[in-house]
Structure 1
Amino acid sequence: SDAQKDEWAYCRLYGVAARLNRGPATASELADLSREVDAALRDGSARLRAFGNQLLDDIRRRTASAGTAAAAPAGWQIAETASFRVLHRGQAELAAEVGRVAEAARRAMYERWVGPAGANWSPKCDVYLHPKGADYATATGKPPANPGHSTVGAKAGQVVSRRIDVRADEPTMLDGVLPHEITQVILAELFADQPLPRWASVGMAALAESPDGVARYLRAVPRLLKEKQLFAVGPFMERAQFPSADEVTAFYAESVSLVSYLVGLKGPKAFTAFLQEGPRRGYARALATHYGFKDPADLQDRWVKHVLGGE
């Protein structure tokens, strides 16, 4: 009957909407979704037209966005993978290795914190390989000693651009900086509606670095504790601003240590669930729900004992 056809057409449109709401889609996926909407509108009645046209407009916007990053800027060459465009200045071999490492890090970090990576990124993430610190500083305006940084652009809750800038001359670029920044890009997408507190994003990204890199952060914590340079956990967990220059070492060390401790208790995905609940209910209540701590002070006591080898 016409009513049954309409119901089936609506179900098809709803399926397209659900897929779009899950996040970025590849160009081929978007083409398939567009065909699905067209087919549903042919079978359904006029009352579904507005819903279908809304979906088609969304698909067209996403398709245009996916195609905006095709050409390399002047002076750059591109090595592409499924989810990355590695832009380099004549370092083709290094660019290919960066692409392989980036894809592996993306899969590993999604799997660690939420589950399988799912569809390839669209738009792809641009990774700029700046030959030296001076090149990096000139291109980005960042200090030349910085190893790298990431930038994610979003509109209406959708990611429209991903970019990572790294120094090719940084010794830890492949096993430290690149996985760190890829994790930051993933977190910016996973928590687009409610950005993570600084300590959580810093700690989660740092855990993507090499074991030696993580160990350097953790080794600093007992000394900083004894020197009373660390922060009370309660205010620290709510802190939104980035630390001042004289607080950076303590901030990074405490962030990595605290995230490592909580992840060690119940695993990475439980930590992600805790972070998703924190903004809605407050981190103190989320700590009680997910970890059984009475309050942040209870967490601090047990974390300090753990750091000093007593738990």
Structure 2
Amino acid sequence: MTLRRHFSAIVVALFAPAFAPAASYDTANFTVEASTAKLAQEFGEWAETYRKEKALEWTGREMPQWPRRCPLQVQITQNSAGGATTFTFGQEGGRPVVTSLRMEIRGEKQQLLHSVLPHEVTHTVLAHYFGRPVPRWADEGGSVLSENDDERYNHDVRCRELLNAGRGIRLRVLFRMTEYPRDMIVLYAQGYSVSHYLVRKGGDGREGRGKLLQFLGMGMQGNNAESWNAAANKVYGFDTIDALEESWLTALKAPPDRVVARGTHSSAGLTSASAARTELRSSAAPTVPLLEPPVRAVRGTAPDRDRESARPTYLPPPDPSAFGSSPVVRPPQPEPPPPSLLLPPELPRPVKP
């Protein structure tokens, strides 16, 4: 199973000059470029809808109007869908802020409208809330929460598959990573799974998202073992990140029902910095490089000043004994792969007439 589509930053860079929009449409916060005026207007209205909706979901209030419109490039194709949002961070009035942003999406129309676009808009909500780069796992994982049910389901299943294969990143490492790891697909799938768990742990909905923001704010102060352990204790009641990790893994052994991510929307009625840096956030992992051999020993890196080199950075596969399994003696013969220990979410139950 592939996690999904998406193009890397290199492809994004190549995509921009080759795209020649025929029409543009301005909203309060976006300048949309697309192949037709109708498409530009439709995507502009949806972008404003998601901007309001995601800000309310995460912070309980709308974002103020941006001082400059965000360019949004839309290209409709029949190929795999994806997107990227570029931020410039700086200082205004002594506080960290986003000083500029740009968004590009491409793919099949419905996938863009109901998965890629809300994902990218969620990046802007998180970036404006903190005014600085958000930890990669939470930025991507939190944005996947805005995607449609199928995409969330695929991320959930893929995370369990990766954990069963021993490719999971220890949370004490994942939380402190400031750059994307080599095993990109792990960060997206595991980042979503952990974000989803923490939102539910915090009470779900707006309350759960608010506690996740609080957790991130505390952990990012120092971005070391002490700050993340303190955040886990204060916000969620865990003594350490390792204890949080154990609880998350235990929760995965009892998979929830598959649920719809969002209801049906209606588009009716929608109508100077210093110390700047630029961040590119793509909406999902690029394809794993074919020429690069897999590496098991290291799944992610933490800042040098806090690296615990003697401790493993990856999660081992689950112990079968934890599930009450007993060893079975068989004569030597080829055997199929062992079944997954962390089962995927249940399929929707049929509705009885």
Bucket of the pairwise TM-score, normalised by the shorter protein: 0.5 to 0.7
- Coordinate RMSD, CA, aligned: 2.3
**1:129-164 Cα shifts (integer Å, max 9, x gaps):** 13448xxxxxxxxxx966110112234244332211
Q: 1:129-278 counterparts in 2 under 5 A?
A: 129-132=74-77, 147-156=82-91, 157-169=96-108, 171-193=110-132, 195-244=133-182, 247-266=183-202, 267-278=208-219
The number of residues matched between the two structures is: 225
Q: Distance in 1 between matches of 2:37 and 2:219?
A: 44
Partner of 1:284: 229
Determine helix, strand or coil for the equivalent of 1:151. Answer: strand
Cα displacement string for residues 152-190 of structure 1 (whole angstroms, at most 9, x for unaligned residues): 223424433221111154651111111111111222222
Q: Within 2, Cα distance between the matches of 1:147 and 1:253?
A: 16
> Could you tell me which amino acid in structure 1 is paired with residue 200 of structure 2?
G
Q: Take 2:100 and 2:254, find their aligned partners in 1: how far apart are those partners?
A: 44
Cα 1:129/1:270, change in 2 over 3 Å: same
Question: Is the 1:88–1:129 Cα contact (8 Å) retained in structure 2?
Answer: yes
Q: Does structure 2 retain, via aligned residues, the 8 Å contact 1:147–1:170?
A: no
SS in 1 for 2:65: coil
Q: Which has the higher helix share?
A: 1
Unaligned runs of 5+ in 1: 1-72, 134-143
Instruction: Verify the 8 A CA contact 1:206 1:214 in the aligned structure 2.
Output: yes
Q: Does the alignment pair 1:88 with 2:24?
A: no
TM-score by length of 2: 0.59
Structure whose CA Rg is larger:
1
Structure 2: distance between partners of 1:160 and 1:196: 15
Give the structure with the larger strand fraction.
Answer: 2
How far apart, CA to CA, are the structure 2 residues paired with 1:94 and 1:251?
33
Is the alpha carbon distance of 1:294 and 1:104 closer, same or farther for their aligned partners in structure 2, counting shifts above 3 Å?
A: same
Matching residue's letter, 1:289: K
Q: Distance in 2 between matches of 1:211 and 1:178?
A: 14
Q: 1:287 to 1:170 in 2, by over 3 A?
A: same
CA distance in 2, matches of 1:109, 1:158: 18
**Map 1:8-157 → 2, pairs under 5 A:** 76-89=22-35, 91-132=36-77, 147-156=82-91, 157=96
Whether 2:246 is the aligned partner of 1:301: answer: yes
The 1-side partners of 2:221 and 2:118 are apart by: 29
Q: Distance in 2 between matches of 1:119 and 1:301?
A: 39
Identity of aligned pairs, percent? Answer: 27
Q: CA–CA distance in 2 between the matches of 1:190 and 1:275?
A: 11
Amino acid at match of 1:77: A
User: Could you tell me how far 1:120 is from its partner in structure 2?
Assistant: 2.0
